[in-house]
Amino acid sequence: MSKLIEPFQIDIPQSDLDDLIARLTHTRWPDQMRDADWRQGIPLDRVKDLAEYWRTEYDWRAAEERLNRFPQFTTEIDGQRIHFLNVRSSRQDALPLLITHGYPSSFVEFEKLIPDLLERGFHVVIPSLPGFGFSAPVGEPGWAMGRTARAWVELMARLGYEHYGVHGGDVGSAISGTVSGLDGEHVAGVHIVTDPYTAAASATFVPWLADKLNPEDAIDKLALQRMEDFRRNDSGYLAIQNTRPQTIGYGLTDSPAMQLAWIAESFDSWTSLPIDTDQLLTNISVYWFTGTGVSAARFLYEQAHSQDWGAPPSVPQGYSVFGADATVRRLIDPAEGTHWVEHDRGRHFPAMEAPEQLAEDLSVFFDGLR
């Protein structure tokens, strides 16, 4: 296995941009029921507005130039191409921080967080999950959370980082926790972001999280209701990707309107503070130009059919809870003495919604672990 680390620059061919414009121009739009709302999916007007902005005003070349200011690399680990950012702080006491994104996100989620982290004394390492963006294609089954965590441990060793922190949200939180369990000798601590949606979704699919809830307790009853609401109203995308990712992949790969709607729905539903439309479209563009809508969906399929959960965290843990309410801690139930910070604003993507608050939380947690 090659341990070669190669510099990487994003350079999407102009023909791909021209093709995107042509496909958006000739989109065949569905109809919509009168007085339709979000209950049946992202509304038609919302997708049309985003698609028209993507087609006529959004500037991919400007986004490409901004992203290429961050040092990027690729390397092969366990037979898989891995793309990653490795952005080093000028501070002598800088702590390497391994950040893992979730679905349907990418390294683009952290674009506005990185400069603040550099000033606060972090070297920032952000890999693209296998099958996501420029960490593609995926050549074989088995790339779920546990295998990814082992690849991240190898990546940090390959970069020469012997003492580092880990951070993540969404599926990135589970991968980060697993990294800390696998490599506790080198990991200073693990920091996780969560919100009521993530907590309810996690408890829905991880039975032992819900087993401790008492349906007679008022707070536990609310948590159980949140879980049921997720099952009934918000789990459709996950059910499809956990069972038939290939089928949805034809639309995601052939239609930019489909890829746009599929991702924008999650960002619209899972945020409570405004996010930059250009940043959202940059994230979607990475999926589109790399054709990784289907392989990213397969990552969730692989995890749904995997028993490889790696190892639990064995280092200090920190949590930043956005849109906090009393149900979250009941569902997550961290160990006594866990670093816990609650924010009443923001939700699932705080690196885009509230990057300053997230950077402050990371600084406070890890400053005591350097």
Catalytic residue annotation: 170, 301, 348
Mean pLDDT of successive 10-residue segments in the chain (370 residues)? 89 98 98 86 96 98 98 97 98 97 98 98 98 95 95 98 97 94 97 91 73 86 87 88 96 98 96 97 98 96 85 89 90 82 96 98 95
Predicted model pTM = 0.96
pLDDT at position 5 is 97
pLDDT at position 341 is 96
pLDDT at position 285 is 98
Report residue 322: phi and psi, to 5°.
-105, 135
Q: Which amino acid is at 239?
A: A
Contact between 145 and 306 under an 8 Å Cβ cutoff? The reply is yes
pLDDT at position 220 is 87
Bridge-partner residues for 317, per DSSP? 190
Contact between 178 and 153 under an 8 Å Cβ cutoff? The reply is no
Taking the C-alpha atoms of residue 294 and residue 292, their distance in angstroms, rounded to an integer, is: 5
pLDDT at position 331 is 84
Q: Which domains does the chain have, with CATH numbers?
A: 5-367 (3.40.50.1820)
Pick the closest to residue 173 from 279, 309, 264, 80 (CA basis). 309
Strand, helix or coil at 368?
A: coil
Q: Which residue carries 């923001």 as its tokens?
A: 346
pLDDT at position 240 is 94
Where are the alpha helices (H) located in 59-170, listed in sequence order? Answer: 60-67, 114-119, 145-158
Taking the C-alpha atoms of residue 20 and residue 150, their distance in angstroms, rounded to an integer, is: 36
How many CA atoms lie less than 13 Å away from 87 in the CB half-sphere?
Answer: 22
Taking the C-alpha atoms of residue 332 and residue 339, their distance in angstroms, rounded to an integer, is: 13
DSSP assignment string, 66-93:
HHTTS-EEEEEETTEEEEEEEE--S-TT
Contact between 323 and 343 under an 8 Å Cβ cutoff? The reply is yes
Q: What's the gap between Cα 258 and its chain centre?
A: 20
DSSP assignment string, 248-274:
HHHHHHH-HHHHHHHHHHHHHHS-SS-
Taking the C-alpha atoms of residue 84 and residue 71, their distance in angstroms, rounded to an integer, is: 9
pLDDT at position 156 is 98
Taking the C-alpha atoms of residue 240 and residue 246, their distance in angstroms, rounded to an integer, is: 9
pLDDT at position 85 is 98
pLDDT at position 204 is 77
pLDDT at position 43 is 95
Taking the C-alpha atoms of residue 363 and residue 111, their distance in angstroms, rounded to an integer, is: 17
> What does the DSSP 8-state code read for residue 59?
-
